[in-house]
Amino acid sequence: MKVAKFGGSSVANAEQIRKVAAIIQADEDRKIVVVSAPGKRNKEDVKTTDLLIELAQYCMDGNEAKQEQWLEKVVDRYAQMVSDLGLDEATTIEIRTDLVNRIQAPYKNSHQLVDSLKASGEDNNAKLIAAYFHSIGMNASYVNPKDAGLLVSDEPGNAQVLPIAYERLHQLKEQEGIIVFPGFFGFSENGTLVTFPRGGSDITGAILAAAVNADLYENFTDVDSVYAANPTIVEDPFEIKKMTYREMRELSYAGFSVFHDEALIPAFRNGIPVCVKNTNNPKSEGTLIVAEREVFDNPVIGIAADEGFATIYVRKYLMNREVGFGRRLLEILEDSSISFEHIPTGIDDTSVIIRESQLTEDVEKQIIDRIKIELQVDDVHIERGFAMVMLVGEGMHNSIGVISRASGALSRRNVNIEMINQGSSETSLVFGIHQEDAKTAVQELYQEFFSTRVLA
Amino acid sequence: MKVAKFGGSSVANAEQIRKVAAIIQADEDRKIVVVSAPGKRNKEDVKTTDLLIELAQYCMDGNEAKQEQWLEKVVDRYAQMVSDLGLDEATTIEIRTDLVNRIQAPYKNSHQLVDSLKASGEDNNAKLIAAYFHSIGMNASYVNPKDAGLLVSDEPGNAQVLPIAYERLHQLKEQEGIIVFPGFFGFSENGTLVTFPRGGSDITGAILAAAVNADLYENFTDVDSVYAANPTIVEDPFEIKKMTYREMRELSYAGFSVFHDEALIPAFRNGIPVCVKNTNNPKSEGTLIVAEREVFDNPVIGIAADEGFATIYVRKYLMNREVGFGRRLLEILEDSSISFEHIPTGIDDTSVIIRESQLTEDVEKQIIDRIKIELQVDDVHIERGFAMVMLVGEGMHNSIGVISRASGALSRRNVNIEMINQGSSETSLVFGIHQEDAKTAVQELYQEFFSTRVLA
């Protein structure tokens, strides 16, 4: 049994939905289909989810004119598909009714309204797709996450699956025909709809794959594979045919955006292989993500870069003699809910590298003041505009020379290395550099590690 | 005015003390002479301080026979010098009486006895040297730290100078003639003798240099200069003519043993230049340690390695999402009084690098258990036998290519880099490697950075 998840662009219009149907029909093991809300049909288009978020905002503002207008925009997205797919107009009416009901329902707080409207994108799309499958003679039916038992924690926009959900969902294995399941949301134990964090439909798919112990979790998107580097930075990069969960996770972390790595955790935890495939080119092999792989010649499998990092630099004479200094510094950051990425340390100074987005003006002032007063430091200041460039590969540990080659490559292009972090993870090496050097760095590192070698 | 401090080997016998007198006579600015206890006269010899520590132990054990024997051993060291220097035997008698008094004095605890006996090594040597200076017609006198106002905190073996001491000691500036001052100890506000931590006589010298605002603090030892690498590892290494405080401090930290860097802090803080010179070759220029220096061609000024490091490796899935994880980990170590050196971090794992000596069997078990239970980690284990190799130089920051050259050098000799720490200190780069590779690493790095260049 396979679980196939289709992203927003794969279910954005009638043409795409026909491709989805063909893909499902092509392999009878594809029993569970998880769908996103209709995504962009072209570069200028707006995702249905974004329309729904705006709609929710107008509802909260009490702006009835805009509310009416945006409701129509959303309904239009589905109406167009209903018409193009030759479905009965009743489907559109049902969707409109559903949206009106969601707007008018009583909620305990505005989060519930937002979550309910956001989730309607996937929910109504699943109903529509199930109706289409049915109309072309497939034995398929929509399944509601509530009925199926997808129980989650009651954190609006940040739901975490509850262990009991897996037991309940396991029964889907026995259901006859194809299941069309909306991504992105579950229900709390008191029956409230709650959405998942970023990567929501991927999460739903991974949970279902784990619950039914699928042989494969197929993640259909709009690229042929995961690439060894960002194709907008490196021309025609290698396709990665097979990689490990760890490699995927390290690369995702550094800005590889095929999907959000944490979304796949339920699949990883249960040892279910994940395959990234292209809805628009299903013949292409895709990228298989597995627990273990053989390591060939090249120690590096991928190179990624992410921007928007800042450094909190702290200097205090004799810092290294002060037991507890590091802990107290982290405590101050923790009190402002700042999580850190790396902590390079000197004798008398230490830097904490964090994501810049966490630093509002208030937070910055607060932590600087506290560090000055409570830690009695000689200097504390914040620098922004750093990028982290990451080399990832299972073959990197014990590969004498990777650091030398990588730093040599950066040196050739005059990219100064502000920070290196190596030593804990066995599958990655991180360089901190100035943001403006990020593109050059990725290009030269790609050149160094991929120009003369065939990727594993 | 200059403060000249002479280490143990410089005052170990009559011949050395004559050299000291000649050095003082050669420069009338040398007004304050700080002396250590008599050190080793040859490789097999025992330092007076070590004899005194044993003596203190026998006193505490109540072993009167040994006590008597060790007392004679100590007195003999001075008696030999008194005789060789042609001094009056009254000096020896005075020293014996002083030691007997110290043994018989009432103490609040055994720490006080130990401190008092240890400090007698410097104290009696200062009296002896003052007597010798006087005997050859120098206008010199012994000054007692208590009378001079060297006030310190009441931490036996770990005294910290009190701010008021500087005010009191400032008056030494006005005293006529040459002052002979014993190193290694001061007095607490209630009049108890307390010794300094490691590097004790260096500390005394630095405090006096700061207090009288000396033009120069001369630290006489038995080497011509500080070298760019350990001469027992690298043949005939470059002499460092001038280096900054920061460079000295970073190198000392990584096992450069000319002196203990923290000992010089009072001088550094007051901007007083320090000169390392050789009692046995006072014509040699020595190494000047200053606040700032020009940086020439070579970004690296010295290479040091220190062994005996261990890594506490901790892995937990989704660690990076858990705000507070790092802080709680450090807290557990802090509860066992463990201080850390570096913390390389991955997404799901982190390593804490510490000095191995802190890990007794009990402590190891305790922290492993707590990390397992309190942090619910997937894996925690300790690896030992690491060395830290440090490249130091004011020219290292912004010197594109240092990392590349250094890692290339290590790669040439198949030295695997287990950890790199770079990014906070601007004057050093640290590689963690296996201990057995340390010698090779230093040699090859020296070759890389010094073989074709003239040191600044």
Q: What is the pLDDT of residue B259?
A: 65
Percentage of residues in chain A having pLDDT higher than 90: 79
Question: Is B400–A420 a contact, with Cβ atoms under 8 angstroms apart?
Answer: no
* Burial state string for B260-275 with b = 16 or more CB within 10 A and e = fewer than 16: bbbbbbbbbebebbbb
Q: Spell out the residues 6+ positions from residue A76 whose beta carbon is closer than 8 angstroms to its own.
A: none
Task: Say which of A250, A346, A421 has its CB closest to residue B345.
Answer: A421
Which CATH topology does B2-222 take?
Answer: Carbamate kinase (3.40.1160)
The mean per-residue pLDDT over the stretch A363-367 comes to 95
What CATH superfamily classification does B302-450 receive?
A: VC0802-like (3.30.2130.10)
Q: What is the pLDDT of residue B296?
A: 78
Where helices occur in A285-424 by DSSP H, the ranges are 325-335, 361-375, 402-412
Task: Say which of B320, B334, B351 has its CB closest to residue A327.
Answer: B334
Q: How many residues does chain A have?
A: 456
Question: Is B346–A425 a contact, with Cβ atoms under 8 angstroms apart?
Answer: yes
CA distance A19 to B245: 70
Here the tokens at position A450 are: 């991929």
Give the pLDDT confidence of A61-77 residue by residue, as tens digits: 999 999 999 999 999 99
Average of per-residue pLDDT values in chain B: 92
* For testing contact with chain A, the best of B327, B333, B399 (most A CBs within 10 A): B327
Give the pLDDT confidence of A115-129 residue by residue, as tens digits: 999 999 999 999 999
Contacts of B349 in chain A (CB under 8 A): 424-425
Contacts of A408 in chain B (CB under 8 A): 404, 408
Contacts of A248 in chain B (CB under 8 A): none
| C-alpha distance from residue B414 to each of A120, A411, B449 (Å) | 59, 21, 18
Question: Token pair 């005939």 is at which residue?
Answer: B236
What DSSP character marks residue A13? S
Question: Token pair 């290698």 is at which residue?
Answer: A238
3-state SS track over B173-237: HHCCCEEEEECCEEECCCCCEEECCCCHHHHHHHHHHHHCCCCEEEEEECCCCEECCCCCCCCCC
Q: What is the pLDDT of residue B452?
A: 64
Question: Is B347–A253 a contact, with Cβ atoms under 8 angstroms apart?
Answer: yes
Contacts of A421 in chain B (CB under 8 A): 344-345, 420, 423
* For testing contact with chain A, the best of B250, B342, B345, B412 (most A CBs within 10 A): B345
Task: Say which of A313, A416, A420 has its CB closest to residue B420.
Answer: A420
Q: What is the pLDDT of residue A455?
A: 44
Indicate whether B318 pLDDT > 90.
Answer: no
The mean per-residue pLDDT over the stretch B135-144 comes to 97
CA distance B83 to B17: 13
Q: What is the pLDDT of residue A115?
A: 96
Question: Token pair 């439909």 is at which residue?
Answer: A201
CB hemisphere CA count around A439 (13 angstroms)? 6
CA distance A225 to B359: 48
By C-alpha distance, the chain A residue nearest B403 is A407
Q: What is the pLDDT of residue B453?
A: 47
Indicate whether A398 pLDDT > 70.
Answer: no
CA distance A322 to B241: 32
CA distance A179 to A3: 10
- Which backbone phi and psi does B311 adopt, to 5 degrees? -120, 130
Question: Is A351–B423 a contact, with Cβ atoms under 8 angstroms apart?
Answer: yes
Percentage of residues in chain B having pLDDT higher than 90: 79
Q: What is the pLDDT of residue B8?
A: 94
Q: What is the pLDDT of residue B456?
A: 42
Indicate whether A219 pLDDT > 70.
Answer: yes
The mean per-residue pLDDT over the stretch B116-127 comes to 97
Indicate whether A140 pLDDT > 70.
Answer: yes
Indicate whether B455 pLDDT > 50.
Answer: no
Q: What is the pLDDT of residue A313?
A: 94
* Whether ipTM exceeds 0.85: no
Give the pLDDT confidence of B256-286 residue by residue, as tens digits: 666 677 788 899 889 999 999 999 999 999 9
What DSSP character marks residue B28? T
CA distance A159 to A172: 21
Q: What is the pLDDT of residue A255?
A: 64
The mean per-residue pLDDT over the stretch B184-209 comes to 94
The mean per-residue pLDDT over the stretch A280-296 comes to 92
Indicate whether A152 pLDDT > 50.
Answer: yes
Q: What is the pLDDT of residue A257?
A: 62
Task: Say which of B403, B418, B425 has its CB closest to residue A420.
Answer: B403
Percentage of residues in chain A having pLDDT higher than 70: 97
Q: What is the pLDDT of residue B251?
A: 85
Q: What is the pLDDT of residue A199?
A: 74
CA distance A97 to A103: 10
CA distance A88 to A367: 59
Q: How far is B200 from chain A (nearest CA, A)?
A: 17
Question: Is A345–B341 a contact, with Cβ atoms under 8 angstroms apart?
Answer: yes
Question: Is B432–A420 a contact, with Cβ atoms under 8 angstroms apart?
Answer: no
Q: How confident is the model at residue A456 (pLDDT cuts 50, 70, 90)?
A: very low
Contacts of A343 in chain B (CB under 8 A): 326, 343, 345
- Which backbone phi and psi does A409 adopt, to 5 degrees? -60, -45
Give the pLDDT confidence of B371-405 residue by residue, as tens digits: 999 999 999 999 999 999 999 999 887 677 899 99
Q: What is the pLDDT of residue A418?
A: 87
By C-alpha distance, the chain B residue nearest A414 is B400
Nearest alpha-carbon partner for B37 in B145, B111, B128:
B128
CA distance A405 to A303: 14
Indicate whether A438 pLDDT > 80.
Answer: yes
Kindly report which listed range (A249-253, B121-125, B443-447) carries the lowest average pLDDT score. A249-253
Own/partner contacts of B447-454, CB < 8 Å, gap of 24 or more, are: B447/B409, B448/B405, B448/B406, B448/B408, B448/B409, B449/B298, B449/B299, B449/B300, B449/B303, B449/B391, B449/B405, B449/B406, B450/B228, B450/B229, B450/B237, B450/B238, B450/B298, B450/B300, B453/B297, B453/B298, B454/B297, B454/B298
CA distance A329 to B324: 11
What angle is formed at CA B248 by the lines to CA B242 and CA B250, rounded to 5 degrees?
A: 140
CA distance B417 to B81: 52
Q: What is the pLDDT of residue A397?
A: 75
Q: What is the pLDDT of residue B257?
A: 62
CA distance B235 to B233: 7
Q: What is the pLDDT of residue A433?
A: 94
Q: How far is A290 from chain B (nearest CA, A)?
A: 16
Q: What is the pLDDT of residue A256?
A: 67
Indicate whether B101 pLDDT > 80.
Answer: yes
Average of per-residue pLDDT values in chain A: 92
Nearest alpha-carbon partner for B345 in A372, A375, A449, A253:
A253
Q: Domain ranges in chain A?
A: 2-222, 302-450
Rg (CA), chain B: 24
Task: Say which of B347, B398, B408 has its CB closest to residue A404.
Answer: B408
